[in-house]
Amino acid sequence: MEVNTGLIDHLAHLSRLNFTETEKETMRGDLEKMIGFVDKLNEIDTTDVKPLRHMSEAMNVYREDVLQGSVSTEEALQNAALKSEEFFKVPKVINK
């Protein structure tokens, strides 16, 4: 894939960025390096390599769900600035 000024301008337009000519040249060099790296990876024979799902062999440590005590409605509403029976009252934030 050829990295030229047209491609840089197109990518800048898609990403809503503005580059100076110096930045475009730097970007062109960086993109060429990235594409070269991917091309180099494509040369590797991966016929017998299994796909990875995770980068390490570590597994998640799961714990049992244990029912624990919770706060009663009265305790939860005790310090509420505004409340109505058993609910918190909050200012309206959505206008129709």
Q: Is 7 helix (H, G, I), strand (E, B) or coil?
A: helix
State the DSSP H helix or E strand holding residue 32, giving kind and residue range, or none if neither. Answer: helix 21-42
- Complete domains list, the chain, with CATH: 5-42 (1.10.20)
The pLDDT-based confidence of 23 (bands split at 50, 70, 90) is: very high
Give the residue with greater pLDDT, 91 vs 24: 24
Confidence at residue 93, expressed as pLDDT on a 0 to 100 scale: 86
Give burial (CB, 10 Å; 0-12/13-18/19+) of 6: exposed
